[in-house]
Amino acid sequence: MTNSPTCHKCFASRRCGHYHLYVIELDFELTKNRTFMIANPHYRKGMDCLYVGSTSHTCECRFKQHREHAKKEKLGYDCVCDGKEKFHEFVRGGGHTRGSYYPGVYGLRLRPDLFVKYNPLIDQKNTMMMEAKLANMLRFQGFAVWQH
Ligand SMILES: [Zn+2]
Ligand SMILES: [Zn+2]
């Protein structure tokens, strides 16, 4: 077992049981997207587009969930956070979904260089606050950021 590159307490195939912030790099294509750019008036040309989120899964598993959710034919995803594969069904069209549109369709890779130092986080309320804080901090640095 090796330590995860995205959390100081997770292992590659087992989550630590705490919360995580994660940042996904998104395709530059999004700089042509009006809705996305309206949310980012301070974007500096040439900087990356990012998605900021939080999860109790490993960041790798959560990234995979985004990608799988974007594929219309997929009914769910395999979570491997607890040492063995477990199938989770997507609930589409309202209710609890595993997807925000942008990271699923435009997500390129996780960017642990921008978030590993925060992980893990202990309580959920603090995690939500930190998620918004990190998004603002990255926007301030000139990145284009989507966060929900
Ligand atoms: Zn962890
Ligand atoms: Zn998982």
The residues spanned by each domain of the chain are 20-147
Which residue(s) pair with 88 in the sheet?
77
CB atoms within 10 A of CB 71: 11
State the SS3 of the chain. CCECCCCCCCECCECCCCEEEEEEEECHHHHHCHHHHHCCCCCCCCCCEEEEEEECCCHHHHHHHHHHHCCCCCCEEEECCECCCEEEECCCCCCCCCCCHHHHHHEEEECHHHCHHHCCECCHHHHHHHHHHHHHHHHHCCCEEEEC
Predicted local confidence at residue 95, as pLDDT: 45
CA 54 / ligand 2 centre spacing (Å): 12
Give how far Cα 84 sits from Cα of 13, 14, 54, 87, 146, Å: 8, 9, 22, 10, 31
Predicted local confidence at residue 90, as pLDDT: 85
Predicted local confidence at residue 113, as pLDDT: 97
User: What is the amino acid identity at position 45?
Assistant: K
Predicted local confidence at residue 81, as pLDDT: 93
pLDDT tens-place values along the chain, 148 residues long: 568 999 999 997 899 999 999 999 999 999 999 999 999 999 999 999 999 999 999 999 999 999 998 888 888 889 989 888 899 888 765 544 555 789 999 999 999 999 999 999 999 999 999 999 999 999 999 999 999 7
CA 16 / ligand 1 centre spacing (Å): 4
CA 6 / ligand 1 centre spacing (Å): 8
CA 15 / ligand 1 centre spacing (Å): 5
51, 90 in Cβ contact below 8 A?
A: no
Predicted local confidence at residue 116, as pLDDT: 97
Predicted local confidence at residue 71, as pLDDT: 85
Give pTM, 2 decimals. Answer: 0.92
